[in-house]
Structure 1
Amino acid sequence: MPPFVRHFGELRPDGTYYLSTSRESIITSLLAAGTFCGALLQAFLANTKTFGRKFSISFWAQVFIVGCVIQTAAGGSSPSAAFGMLPAGRFIAGLGVGALSALIPLYNSEAAPKDLRGPMVVMYQLMICAGIAWSYGLSWATSGIPNRACWMVPVGFQLFIGLVIAVGILFLPESPRLLLGRGNVEAASRSIATLNAVPIDHPLVHEEIADLQALLAVEEQAGKGRWIDLLGTKHQMWKRTLNACTIQFVQQLNDKYPVHARSFVHRPALHHDTDMFPILCRVFSVVLHARMVTLVGCIPSLWLIERLGRRKMLFIGGIGEIVCAVIAGLSGHFLLAATGTPESELTGSNIRDFLVGFFSSKIAADIGPLILLIFGGVLIFGCVYIYFMLPETSGLALEEIDEMYTLKIQPWKSSSWIPPSRIETARRDGIINEKDEVVHSELLTRKVGGGAGMAH
């Protein structure tokens, strides 16, 4: 926006303002640097007795607010001071974004009832898509303002979002797992009861407490976790880390490329149009339309992810994206880009953002739209990886997922795997007799994502 360039740019000899590539790089890259640091730093607060999960979320949301205040205040400062304030504010806001991006899925996975855990993952992605679509729309709505308000309003609006998170999380219960780890059984029981909308003396509460106590006992026996343990062989942690990173990388890589697609989608127009504004409007409309399609694509996933399962949803999304990326183009690709990934159940993406932003324009300059074949190839790799490496996690408690990895259940057999603890329960309930014969087969049918239902 011209007012932004005048305020943060440099003056040419002819009296016009411009943003140099170095200044543009500093402004854009420091947010990613902040998110990287925030994602690492959050771990040192989230596990403490003082903060815990929900107070850490509130704290980092306040850090985000501080960053937004500094960025917005840059609009009222002198140009020389403003250029220092804007990148600093973006870095500080990035700290909050990175920490919240790690904490909120963690809180969801620990607090949500198991039959709602899948929809919560999709809801998380849905809100990201909604936020991006809203940000594009707000930026477009203010782009015609002829003064600094054109960019200060969108930047300042983030304060409201940060405030909602910082205050709203305080009204939610703390993670039951964290409370029980502190030895506060009563508080953990109240939290489970609230989260599941049942009385505190409900059998479900006692069952969850017993499961968590057993898990914590195993964790205590195993000793304090270390960063290096993420790459260890015990309980196949290396595989779980690899799965989480690979699926996130493939999904997010293919979510980012349309942002840079302007480098080849509209190149022919650059040779025919002298007025850049219509071109920019078309670029904006493509990106906004794509984000809106992503938003629509999230909605059916809320229902399907627990009925079809994680693996099937990822296959459907991956194959659909391959077809759309190679044949149909950008808009169709986005429809299937948000079919929930299970990385929050198995265990950052800033380096990926840098690589895509740096290389995509250079590659597209040589091969144009054929760059879509590269992304299609990445998606094919993703589908193969899912089949051979990613187990089905729906319908299982987090503790049962731990058990599945420990027992090295093959991913292509994981949908029909029954946790040993459930087999023992089935024996006690008469579903399986003394000869290990199934008496009531209908009770052993696993409805994918069906909460406490049995696996067959």
Structure 2
Amino acid sequence: MALFHVQGLPIGYVAIMLALLASMGGFIFGYDTGQISDILLMDDFLLRFATCSTPGVVSTCAFSAVREGLIVALLSIGTLVGALIGAPTADFLGRRYAMSTECIVFTVGVIVQITSTNVWQQYAVGRLISGLGVGALSAAVPMYQAETAPPQIRGTLTATYQLFITFGILVAYCISIGTRYIPGSASWRIPVGIGILWALILGIGILFMPESPRWLAAHGRLDEAQISVARTRGLSPAEAKDHYITRHEIEEIRLRVEHEKATKAGWIDCFKSDNKTLYRTLLGMSLQSLQQLTGANYFFYYGATVFLAVGLSDSFVTQIILGAVNFVCTFGGMYVMERFGRRRPLICGGIWQSAWLFVFASAGTAVDPVTHPAIGKLMIVSACMFIWGYAMTWAPGVWILIGETFPTPTRAKQGSLSTAANWTWNFLIAFFTPFISSAIDYRYGYVFAVCNLMGAVVVYLFLYESSDISLENVDMMYTDPTCKPWTSHQWAPPGYLSRQDFIEQTRAAEEHKRSGFGTPETMTERRTPMEV
């Protein structure tokens, strides 16, 4: 039974559950990202792993820029490698079993971290191993969600990945502030070790969800693919073969798979110009790189240190404020990306984020925030306004696009390459930020401000509007020579006048069906994209 209807089409509770469970991969990502900022300032962690001029006196302990950068950034090296191996793993094992396997890898990394005693290199290597699991999940989860979610709510369900990233960051901040005064190593071992719980929830829970219908169809398991589609639509297995919605979607998937089966796609195929494959590979890598270059992780990785420098007595609390803004505003981002499409929010978000980073950098550069508390407060407000815009646009938007931009044969590999680009810049920002900040201080914000403007330009010139249409139709749109990025919001499959006409015809078809008059002629006789 359908839980509710969108654009006149049924949506089942399984579609919501699979999005939430798979998004635990994003939660793990966010939790691991958020905890390190506060752990770096914990007394026991400093005494064990930092350099102390007077042994046992925490006030004399500090990390060198190299050591701090490696502890933070080795996670990103692991995620970079994990993102690249995530594609063949997901293609070989299936999307669900791949995610379960990656949770095991993450758990091994956590165990290595919490068993560290006085050797900082062991802790860093543990983050590297955990990063392998996180990176592979970051490639598999958005792909699984995009391939399995009904097109009418694909944007919202895929955006839950980013929502859970922000939730993970916020939970990490809250746990860290609760454990920071616990005597001994429990202050940092507890927040790190709790990560195993999140991996168990995802690794076990995802096995109860349906497999991607597109992966099943690609492996000749069309009956199972039909049942998978039916479950997300709130239909019983008995209804799977008879309901016109499942018949229509499976036929579309089947024709696309058969069309692509003749060519076995390898890594090199991601860089071929046919069907704009190279175009989309470079676009995905660019968008993921630019998401990192917005400057968000400057605040998430080093926010506690930054706000300590502007004279705040409790930078942990400021981190929680930023984390809360990030989490709450992501709910708005889910609505924005579904209501206004993909292009407009990313363009507006890039401009908004740039403006507030200019304010942040200018305020910190013009006056010393330590001696002028009002300036410090302005910088915090600027950071919050930046995070607000980021959480509403670029944070969820890019992950949605990675799941729905690429063609089926190379989707996993292109998703991995794009995600690897994200983690490459993640590493560069995490490792070099201590050096850059010490050299140019808050003028670092100007660099990110310019990158945000560049992101808005890239979206306008190169990104196609992929909301409200199936993944197979997205592929058609990119290969239509008459469609341009700035006109793509009007594109629709052959036989429809516009995107809005397509949405209205689909809604009318379902209403006609629900009224008991059978499947309308417009849905039964209209040719599929592959037949045109």
Q: TM-score, normalization: structure 1?
A: 0.84
Of residues 257, 282, 301, the one that matches 2:333 is 301
1:169 and 1:452 map into 2 onto residues whose CA distance is 33
SS at match of 2:223: helix
Q: Are residue 337 (structure 1) and residue 396 (structure 2) matched?
A: no
The 8 Å contact of residues 211 and 228 in structure 2, kept in 1 or not, is answered as: yes
Q: Which residue of 1 aligns with 2:91?
A: 47
Deviations 1:78-131 (A, max 9, x none): 53xx54542332222111101101100110111111111100222111110010
Query: What is the alpha-carbon distance in structure 2 between the residues aligned to residue 192 and residue 366 of structure 1?
Result: 54
Asked if residue 314 in structure 1 is aligned to residue 346 in structure 2, the reply is yes
Count of matched residue positions in the alignment of Structure 1 and Structure 2: 419
- Asked whether the equivalents of residues 342 and 465 of structure 2 are also in contact (C-alpha less than 8 Å), the reply is yes
How far apart are 1:197 and its partner, in Å?
1.0
| 1:197 alignment partner, SS class | coil
In structure 2, the partner of 1:71 is 113
Q: Percent identity?
A: 32
**Is the 2:69–2:430 Cα contact (8 Å) retained in structure 1?**
no
1:402 maps to 2:446? no
* Alpha-carbon RMSD: 2.8
Q: 2:74 matched to which residue of 1?
A: 30
Q: For 1:218 and 1:452, how far apart are their aligned partners in 2?
A: 27
Q: Is the 8 A contact 2:491 2:499 kept in 1?
A: no
Aligned to 2:525: none
Report the Cα offset of residue 152 of structure 1.
Answer: 1.0
Partners of 2:456 and 2:340 in 1: CA distance: 16
1:47 aligns to what SS in structure 2?
helix
Bigger RCO (CA 8 Å, 6+ sep): 2
Distance 1:306 1:233 in 2: 30
1:426-445 alignment, distance < 5 Å: 444=501
Distance 1:365 1:5, change over 3 A: closer
Within the candidate set 227, 233, 237, 1:190 is matched to 227
Counterpart Cα distance in 2 of 1:443 and 1:139:
48
Aligned partners of 2:177, 2:488: CA distance in 1, in Å?
47
1:105 pairs with one of 124, 137, 142: 142
Identify the range of structure 1 (154-163 vs 303-312) with the bigger mean alpha-carbon deviation. 303-312
Tell me the equivalent position of 1:233: 273
- Give the CA deviation at 1:178: 1.0
Retained in 2: the 8 A contact 1:293–1:335?
Answer: yes
Shift in Å at residue 406 of structure 1?
1.2
Residues 118-176 of structure 1: per-residue CA shift (max 9 Å, x gap): 00222111110010011011111100011111011101110110000000101101111
Deviations 1:29-49 (A, max 9, x none): 33222111111112222112x
Task: Provide the residue aligned with 2:291 in structure 1.
Answer: 251
Alpha-carbon distance, 1:298 to partner: 1.0
Native 8 Å contact 1:61 1:96 kept in 2: yes
Q: Does 2:153 match 1:116? A: yes
Spell out, residue by residue over 1:300-323, the C-alpha distance to the aligned partner (whole angstroms, 9 max, x if none): 222232221111221232222123
Q: 1:177 is matched by which residue type in structure 2?
A: R
User: Aligned equivalents of 1:92 and 1:357: distance in 2?
Assistant: 17
- Matched-pair contact (CA < 8 Å) for 2:307–2:318: no
Query: Deviations along 1:57-77, whole A, 9 cap, x unmatched?
Result: 111111111221222233xxx
The alpha-carbon deviation at position 191 of structure 1 amounts to 0.8
Correspondence for 1:414 = 488
Indicate conservation of the 8 Å contact 1:263/1:364, yes or no.
no
CA contact (8 A) 1:143 1:150 kept: yes
Runs (5+) with no aligned partner, structure 1: 270-277, 427-437
Partners of 2:84 and 2:431 lie apart in 1 by 24
CA distance in 2, matches of 1:360, 1:83: 20
**Residues 1-40 of structure 1: pairs in structure 2 closer than 5 A:** 1-9=42-50, 12=53, 16=57, 18=61, 21=64, 23-40=67-84
Deviation at 1:184, TM superposition (A): 1.4
Alignment of 1:356-395 (within 5 A): 356-365=429-438, 367-395=440-468
Q: Partners of 1:10 and 1:104 in 2: how far apart?
A: 39
Q: Secondary structure at the match of 1:224?
A: coil
Q: Secondary structure at the match of 2:357?
A: helix
Instruction: Specify the SS of the correspondent of 2:390.
Output: coil
Instruction: Note the alpha carbon deviations across 1:212-236, whole angstroms, 9 max, x for none.
Output: 1111111112x11121222221111
- Measured in 2, the distance between the counterparts of 1:451 and 1:20 equals 63
Q: Return the alpha-carbon distance in structure 1 between the equivalents of residues 71 and 431 of structure 2.
A: 15
| CA 364–265 in structure 1, closer or farther in 2 if over 3 Å, else same | farther
CA contact (8 A) 1:230 1:238 kept: yes
Amino acid at match of 2:444: I
Cα distance in structure 2, aligned partners of 1:318 and 1:180:
38
Shift of 1:10: 5.6
Whether the 8 Å CA contact 1:391–1:415 is kept in 2: the answer is yes
Change in Cα spacing, 1:174 to 1:107, as seen in structure 2 (3 Å) is same
Contact 2:45 / 2:185 at 8 angstroms: preserved in 1? yes
Secondary structure of the residue that 1:100 maps to in structure 2? helix
Q: CA deviation at 1:389?
A: 0.7
Of the structure 1 ranges 116-125 and 244-253, higher mean CA displacement relative to structure 2 is found in: 244-253
Q: What do residues 384-412 of structure 1 show as CA deviations (whole Å, max 9, x unaligned)?
A: 21111111000111111111111232001
The Cα of 1:11 is off from its aligned counterpart by 6.3
Asked if structure 2 preserves the Cα contact closer than 8 Å seen for 1:396 and 1:451, the reply is: no
**1:207 and 2:252 correspond:** no
C-alpha distance in 1, partners of 2:438/2:47?
Answer: 30
Counterpart CA distance in 2 for 1:445 and 1:179 is: 27
The amino acid of 2:403's aligned partner reads S
TM-score, reference length from structure 2: 0.72
Residues 67 and 356 (structure 1 numbering): CA distance in 2 closer, same or farther, change over 3 Å?
A: closer
Q: CA deviation at 1:14?
A: 5.3
